[in-house]
Every structure is written in C-alpha cells, then in structure tokens.
Structure 1
C-alpha cells in the first residue's frame, strides 16, 4: 500500500474534480427491525456489536439503520412499521431484518407483552407481506429467531419480569419463526440453534437455560438471561453473514459497489 502525508493528500485532492457535482447521491439501506435486542446493540459496555461489524463490512456501500423498539412485540411492530418505514421515494431499502419473539414469548398475565403462538405466526406473515416493505423493488427479508433464554439469570430480576419467560417457551417461538420462514420462502437466521450449538448442547434434555437443569454456558451469550451480550451478538453476526452469502449472494459486500469511488483507487 502506498502511504502519503496528510499534506500530500490534501494537495493531491485539491486537483481532483468530482464529476456530476450537482447530482446528490444517496445510500441504499438495510433496516434492522426488532425489539430491545436490536435497539441496545452497539452499547460499548457490551463489547462486540452485530450492527457495527456489518456497518464496517458495508462501509461506503450501505447505510444500516437500527429500528429496534424496546418492549415491542409483533403486534406493536405492525402498528409502528407504517410510521417509520421509508417509501421508495425516500430511500431504497435492500434488506430488512425482522427480529421479534423475545417479548411475544412472555407468559400470559405477566408483563403484558404476551402474544399467543399462532397469533405470533400470523403477525410474522403480516410483516413479511406488509405493503410498506414490498413497495421496495427486489427487497430481501431476513427473519431472525429469538435467542434462548437463561432462567438462572432471572433470579436477580424483579417481578413480573422474573417469572415471565421460560426456556421451553422461547424454543417454541424460535421454532415458529423457522416455520414461518419455510412457509413463506423467506431466509431465516436461526439464532436460537446457533447459540445452543455455541454452548455445546447435543439436543438431549434437559434444555440449557431451564431452571430445572444445571447452569449452562448461556451466560456468556446473554448478559441478563434475555438480552444478548457481546459474544451473543458475535454469534448473530456470524450466522447472518452465512445466511446472506447462501440465500442472498447479491447482497454480500463485494457485490455492492461503493457509492462514491475513491480518489485514489490504489489505496482502496
């Protein structure tokens, strides 16, 4: 790689002209739509960030927009989607992630976030077919399953949250996301299974995270039993890259041109 002093770069760029200076450029978007697990990603206290890592991968190619809403379930998602989602005239959306279920899976008569399993699946189908999303030509959608939960970490929570979620129920909602993806022909990032693989689960009972089982390695992925920590987001990042490369290869970074070509291509 050629190196140069800032002064030399400044002198060089002063002689470079950008053509079509009257034309305003815009960046296509990936929109990450979800609940608090999406919203809080990027907290520097948690370490690795799924969105930040992808933003680096797609630097100068795609704007990645975080639209995470803490506390929301899929019913809330359907209400808010038309309020924030850009029209094709405002931005070109290339990819949408739909990452809900952690709140839907809370038990009835606890936090008020519960959505029955079949209703949850219907809500997901409605999100996948929403006209605000489908208005964007050739838009791709990724479903992401909720991660496992670790009931052991809820011991320090206050009620009603302390008793609101069960490991076996989280698994059922993750399975439902996979089912909806199969029914709709939509790619799925199976985060639940990836996390279980990460902690070495062999598929036999008891289920890691269940309070009736021994403590598992889920605490290294979930900082409070529900939300991903840095290592959990790292698993999500790795799994999403695999799924995009397999299902939507046209969206891997190398296939998307930079918005503005560099002044010095040999440095790029």
Structure 2
C-alpha cells in the first residue's frame, strides 16, 4: 500500500475539502511577541484584561499568537536567546508581525540588579535584533517596536533591595525615547506605550514627571500594578495603541483582511 504524504500549505487558508482524497494540513502564520516579563505575564488571569488574549480573539482562525516573553531579560539576553527559539522559514510562516518589547530591565541603574544596559548599547542591541539573521530570513516579516512603559517609583516601597532602588521614572523616559529613535533610524513602526500611558493619566508634558518620587503620587498606579509591570488597564492601553499602529502602518494585517483558515464546507443552500 502506498502511503499518502500530506500536503503542507504555506499559508493558513486552504480551499481543500475533507473528502477530496488528498489530506492537507493548514499551517497558521504567526505573530511572535518577544520581550521580557511584561510580555511573559500578559495573559495572567489575575490581572484582568490581557492584550495577548484579546489579540488571540481578534485573530482566531487567522493567526497564531505566540508568547515568547522571558522574565528578567534585557536586550543583550535577547540577542543570545533569539536564535534558540525563532523558527526558520521552513518551519513556520513568521511573515506577519514580530514585536520587540524590551527596556524595563535594560533601564535599571548600574550596580543594582545586574540587568543594566547603557542607553547607547541598548539602541545598538535593538538595531542588531532588527537585522538578526533569524528575523530577516523571513522575507515578508513585518516588525513592531514597543517602548517600555513608565515607572512609578512610589510603588517600590514594597520591593526588596536591590529592586527597590533600581529604577527611576526619568530613566524609563530616556529608554522609551531611545526606542522611538531606533524606529526613526530603521524606518520601523513604534507602539509608544510610554507616551500612551502618560496621555491616559492626563499628563500635559510638563516638567513634573508622573512616577518620580519627588512629585506627588499619580494615576500611574492604575496602569502599573507594582510600579513596573502593567496592570489589566495598562495592557488595555497597549492593546488599543497596537491596533491603531497596525491599522496605520500595516493595514493588510488587520484581522478582517486576513482570510480564515479551513473555510467551512457547506452545501450552497447553507450559504
């Protein structure tokens, strides 16, 4: 007896019917979210809203949303781990979106947690990630950068050292600006999470920076559950801004523009 080898489709769509005699397997394209703990914990039910869960719902039967968040990682660690998990083109179609979401750890102060990456090296690491062979091997891949969120120093009282003293609001602002600069230098769209969080709490761009311990407490505690990581409301800000940037920069990637996989096979009268 001759075994029939299944045909592997390079895109999620297929017009194959289950009874045509040729078994075919649909492979969904992927969105890979690559970041630190803020990416890793996106989906924790205790936080309420989840950006990644909402996107999975938006793209159900269209795109596989893959979480590759690594708690504690900075951009130097990201460069080391990327080739160990990022699939080659023959294994997965990562032609759509890849998000780079680092900085919360890079921005820690020197001689504190051991995670610090100097600002210029941070930018250089981002450029190296954007041009990494594992990524550019996918010829149709689209990329989004995400700025790290603000820091609320007021919430660090509950942290143990050295974490309590490791991060400053003004430093987080500088690293967020660096991501915007990388986006301009590389012509890569950026989701300005830092800026959107500030706008969400009504900051007018004045000299008094919300989150700074020298300034009175702000509404950042709504968006950051511990001063560093996003709350459910913070993930909603990320989700809303990500959708806007995708619609503006990559309109072909909005959910309704992507065909569903494995269309139902019904008689004409069912239509």
Does TM, normalized by the shorter one, top 0.5?
A: yes
Q: How much does 1:46 deviate?
A: 0.2
CA distance in 2, matches of 1:129, 1:144: 17
Task: Give a deviation string over 1:136-169, Cα, whole Å, max 9, x none.
Answer: 1210000000000100000110000000000000
Partner of 1:10: none
* Residue 141 (structure 2) aligned to one of 129, 134, 139: 139
1:241 lines up with 2:246 in the alignment: no
- Map residues 197-212 of structure 1 onto 2, 5 A cutoff: 197-212=199-214
Of 207-216 and 20-29, more deviation after overlay is shown by 20-29
CA distance in 2, matches of 1:233, 1:263: 37
CA 21–199 in structure 1, closer or farther in 2 if over 3 Å, else same: farther
1:31 lines up with 2:23 in the alignment: no
TM-score (norm 2): 0.91
Q: Secondary structure at the match of 1:31?
A: strand
Q: Secondary structure at the match of 1:158?
A: coil
Q: Secondary structure at the match of 1:59?
A: coil
Q: How much does 1:118 deviate?
A: 0.1
CA distance in 1, matches of 2:179, 2:248: 19
CA distance in 1, matches of 2:135, 2:216: 43
Partner of 1:76: 77
Partner of 1:215: 217
* Residue 108 (structure 1) aligned to one of 107, 110, 132: 110
Q: Secondary structure at the match of 1:67?
A: strand
CA distance in 1, matches of 2:98, 2:21: 31
Q: Secondary structure at the match of 1:32?
A: strand
Q: How much does 1:198 deviate?
A: 0.2
Partner of 2:93: 92
**Could you list the runs of 5+ residues in structure 2 that have no partner in the other structure?**
1-16
CA 20–90 in structure 1, closer or farther in 2 if over 3 Å, else same: farther
- Map residues 165-176 of structure 1 onto 2, 5 A cutoff: 165-176=167-178
CA distance in 2, matches of 1:73, 1:86: 21
CA distance in 1, matches of 2:270, 2:216: 53
TM-score (norm 1): 0.92
Partner of 1:50: 51
* Residue 180 (structure 1) aligned to one of 182, 202, 209: 182
Alignment size in residue pairs? 253
CA distance in 2, matches of 1:208, 1:53: 28
CA 267–154 in structure 1, closer or farther in 2 if over 3 Å, else same: farther
**Could you list the runs of 5+ residues in structure 1 that have no partner in the other structure?**
1-15
Q: How much does 1:19 deviate?
A: 4.1
Task: Give a deviation string over 1:41-87, Cα, whole Å, max 9, x none.
Answer: 10000000000000100000000000000000000000000000000
